[in-house]
């Protein structure tokens, strides 16, 4: 085999399906909520409270969506 020739290696077929979550605005809204909490710490308790309530709501929704998504995944079979 020459050095300048590419090596042909056969890859094994994928043993499991790749799971990607659907598009969501929750990460963006969570980032806005964290920003409000941080800015509110320096400016006003009301801004902090609004950001905290929004953050708790976003995290609750995000965790719930993730739990439902994981529950829908197929079970692993022994030997995989």
Q: What is the pLDDT of residues 1-57, one digit of tens each?
A: 566 777 777 776 666 677 777 889 999 999 999 999 999 999 999 999 999 999 999
Asked if 17 and 73 touch (Cβ cutoff 8 Å), the reply is no
Q: Closest Cα to residue 76, out of 19, 21, 20, 16?
A: 16
Mean pLDDT value across residues 61-76: 85
Flag whether pLDDT at 61 surpasses 90.
yes
Parse the chain into domains and list their residue ranges.
Answer: 26-70
Asked if 58 and 23 touch (Cβ cutoff 8 Å), the reply is no
User: Given this model, what pLDDT does residue 1 score?
Assistant: 53
* H helix runs in 1-80, sequence order: 26-43, 45-71
Tokens representing 38? Answer: 């941080």
User: Given this model, what pLDDT does residue 4 score?
Assistant: 74
DSSP state of 22: P
Q: Tell me which of 63 and 71 has the higher pLDDT.
A: 63
């Amino acid at each position: 085999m020459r050095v300048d020739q590419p090596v042909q290696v056969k890859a094994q077929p994928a043993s499991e399906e790749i799971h990607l979550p659907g598009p969501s605005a929750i990460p963006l809204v969570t980032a806005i909520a964290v920003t409000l909490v941080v800015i509110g710490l320096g400016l006003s308790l009301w801004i902090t409270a609004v950001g905290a309530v929004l953050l708790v709501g976003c995290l609750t929704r995000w965790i719930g969506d993730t739990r439902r998504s994981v529950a829908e995944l197929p079970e692993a079979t022994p030997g995989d």
